[in-house]
Amino acid sequence: MRVNEISAFDIAKSGIKAQRLRMMIIANNIANAETTRTEKGGGPFRRQVVELLGHSIRGTSPIGKAGVEVKRVSYDMSPFKEVYEPGHPDADENGIVRYPNVNIPVEMADLVSAQRVYEANISVLVATRQIRQRALEILQR
Protein backbone atom coordinates (compact mmCIF):
# COMPACT_ATOMS: atom_id res chain seq x y z
CA MET A 1 0.00 0.00 0.00
CA ARG A 2 1.41 3.35 -0.91
CA VAL A 3 2.13 5.41 2.14
CA ASN A 4 0.10 8.41 1.12
CA GLU A 5 -2.97 6.31 0.39
CA ILE A 6 -3.52 4.88 3.84
CA SER A 7 -4.56 6.64 6.93
CA ALA A 8 -3.05 6.01 10.31
CA PHE A 9 -6.59 5.89 11.65
CA ASP A 10 -7.35 2.83 9.53
CA ILE A 11 -4.17 1.12 10.62
CA ALA A 12 -4.94 1.70 14.28
CA LYS A 13 -8.55 0.63 13.80
CA SER A 14 -7.45 -2.65 12.29
CA GLY A 15 -5.21 -3.26 15.26
CA ILE A 16 -7.98 -2.46 17.70
CA LYS A 17 -10.43 -4.80 16.02
CA ALA A 18 -7.93 -7.62 15.90
CA GLN A 19 -6.92 -7.28 19.53
CA ARG A 20 -10.49 -6.99 20.73
CA LEU A 21 -11.33 -10.27 19.05
CA ARG A 22 -8.20 -11.83 20.48
CA MET A 23 -9.15 -10.74 23.98
CA MET A 24 -12.63 -12.13 23.56
CA ILE A 25 -11.34 -15.47 22.37
CA ILE A 26 -8.80 -15.66 25.19
CA ALA A 27 -11.44 -14.73 27.77
CA ASN A 28 -13.63 -17.45 26.36
CA ASN A 29 -10.81 -19.96 26.59
CA ILE A 30 -10.24 -19.05 30.21
CA ALA A 31 -13.93 -19.19 31.06
CA ASN A 32 -14.13 -22.67 29.54
CA ALA A 33 -10.88 -24.06 30.91
CA GLU A 34 -12.77 -26.69 32.86
CA THR A 35 -15.58 -27.41 30.46
CA THR A 36 -15.55 -31.15 30.00
CA ARG A 37 -18.75 -31.34 28.02
CA THR A 38 -19.96 -29.16 25.19
CA GLU A 39 -23.26 -29.01 23.34
CA LYS A 40 -24.42 -31.91 21.22
CA GLY A 41 -22.08 -34.27 23.03
CA GLY A 42 -19.10 -32.57 21.57
CA GLY A 43 -16.63 -33.54 24.20
CA PRO A 44 -14.45 -31.14 26.06
CA PHE A 45 -14.05 -27.52 25.06
CA ARG A 46 -11.29 -27.04 22.54
CA ARG A 47 -9.01 -24.04 22.77
CA GLN A 48 -9.44 -21.40 20.08
CA VAL A 49 -6.82 -19.18 18.58
CA VAL A 50 -7.00 -16.10 16.42
CA GLU A 51 -4.84 -16.18 13.33
CA LEU A 52 -3.60 -12.79 12.31
CA LEU A 53 -2.38 -11.61 8.95
CA GLY A 54 -0.18 -8.54 8.87
CA HIS A 55 0.43 -6.13 6.02
CA SER A 56 3.45 -3.99 5.46
CA ILE A 57 3.46 -0.50 4.10
CA ARG A 58 6.06 0.31 1.55
CA GLY A 59 6.96 3.24 -0.55
CA THR A 60 5.86 2.08 -3.93
CA SER A 61 4.15 -1.27 -3.71
CA PRO A 62 0.79 -1.69 -5.41
CA ILE A 63 -2.40 -0.74 -3.67
CA GLY A 64 -3.31 -3.16 -0.92
CA LYS A 65 -4.07 -3.19 2.71
CA ALA A 66 -2.25 -2.00 5.74
CA GLY A 67 -2.25 -2.80 9.40
CA VAL A 68 -3.47 -6.20 10.49
CA GLU A 69 -6.45 -8.38 9.83
CA VAL A 70 -7.91 -11.52 11.31
CA LYS A 71 -7.27 -14.37 8.95
CA ARG A 72 -9.54 -16.70 10.85
CA VAL A 73 -10.41 -18.09 14.24
CA SER A 74 -9.30 -21.68 14.42
CA TYR A 75 -9.05 -24.53 16.87
CA ASP A 76 -5.92 -25.52 18.67
CA MET A 77 -5.57 -29.17 17.73
CA SER A 78 -3.21 -30.10 20.50
CA PRO A 79 -4.42 -33.02 22.59
CA PHE A 80 -6.78 -32.70 25.53
CA LYS A 81 -5.53 -33.16 29.03
CA GLU A 82 -6.32 -36.53 30.46
CA VAL A 83 -6.97 -36.77 34.16
CA TYR A 84 -7.82 -39.85 36.17
CA GLU A 85 -11.10 -38.99 37.91
CA PRO A 86 -13.35 -42.04 38.14
CA GLY A 87 -16.17 -40.27 40.01
CA HIS A 88 -16.58 -37.58 37.36
CA PRO A 89 -19.82 -37.68 35.33
CA ASP A 90 -17.82 -37.32 32.11
CA ALA A 91 -15.31 -40.04 32.94
CA ASP A 92 -14.93 -42.74 30.35
CA GLU A 93 -14.83 -46.50 31.03
CA ASN A 94 -11.27 -46.17 32.34
CA GLY A 95 -12.18 -43.31 34.69
CA ILE A 96 -10.31 -40.82 32.55
CA VAL A 97 -11.76 -37.38 32.11
CA ARG A 98 -10.64 -35.29 29.19
CA TYR A 99 -10.17 -31.62 30.04
CA PRO A 100 -9.81 -28.71 27.62
CA ASN A 101 -6.37 -28.10 26.16
CA VAL A 102 -6.37 -24.68 27.82
CA ASN A 103 -3.33 -23.69 29.80
CA ILE A 104 -4.31 -20.84 32.09
CA PRO A 105 -0.88 -19.23 32.52
CA VAL A 106 -0.43 -19.16 28.76
CA GLU A 107 -3.86 -17.64 28.29
CA MET A 108 -3.15 -15.01 30.92
CA ALA A 109 0.13 -14.07 29.27
CA ASP A 110 -1.61 -13.81 25.92
CA LEU A 111 -4.36 -11.71 27.45
CA VAL A 112 -1.90 -9.25 28.96
CA SER A 113 -0.06 -9.03 25.69
CA ALA A 114 -3.26 -8.45 23.72
CA GLN A 115 -4.30 -5.79 26.18
CA ARG A 116 -1.02 -3.91 25.80
CA VAL A 117 -1.21 -3.98 22.05
CA TYR A 118 -4.84 -2.87 22.21
CA GLU A 119 -3.95 0.10 24.36
CA ALA A 120 -0.99 0.98 22.19
CA ASN A 121 -3.32 1.07 19.19
CA ILE A 122 -5.60 3.41 21.10
CA SER A 123 -2.59 5.67 21.67
CA VAL A 124 -2.03 5.73 17.93
CA LEU A 125 -5.63 6.83 17.46
CA VAL A 126 -5.25 9.61 19.99
CA ALA A 127 -1.93 10.75 18.53
CA THR A 128 -3.36 10.78 15.01
CA ARG A 129 -6.25 12.93 16.09
CA GLN A 130 -3.89 15.29 17.90
CA ILE A 131 -1.74 15.73 14.83
CA ARG A 132 -4.75 16.41 12.64
CA GLN A 133 -6.22 18.96 14.99
CA ARG A 134 -2.96 20.84 15.03
CA ALA A 135 -2.80 20.71 11.26
CA LEU A 136 -6.20 22.41 11.13
CA GLU A 137 -4.76 25.27 13.15
CA ILE A 138 -2.73 26.27 10.17
CA LEU A 139 -5.97 27.14 8.46
CA GLN A 140 -7.59 28.82 11.37
CA ARG A 141 -5.21 31.69 11.86
Partner 1 sequence: MVTKIRNISAEEYLIAGLRVGEINHKYIANNIANADTPGYVERNLDFYKTLSAVVNGRGGIELRTSHPRHIPYIKENLIYEERQSLMKNDFNSVDIDEQILRLSENTSRMTVFTTLLAKKYSQIIGAINELKR
Residues making contact with partner 1 (CB under 8 A) = 2-4, 6, 8, 11-12, 14-15, 18, 52-57, 59-60, 66-68, 113-114, 116-117, 120-121, 123-124, 127-128, 130-131, 134-135, 137-138, 141
Q: Smallest gap, in angstroms, from Cβ of residue 88 to partner 1? A: 35
Beta-carbon count within 10 A of 108 CB: 12
Q: Smallest gap, in angstroms, from Cβ of residue 21 to partner 1? A: 12
Amino acid identity, residue 37? R
Q: Smallest gap, in angstroms, from Cβ of residue 140 to partner 1? A: 8
User: Which lies closer to partner 1 via its Cβ, residue 19 or residue 36?
Assistant: 19
Residue 94: C-alpha distances to residues 37, 90, 97, 98 (Å): 17, 11, 9, 11
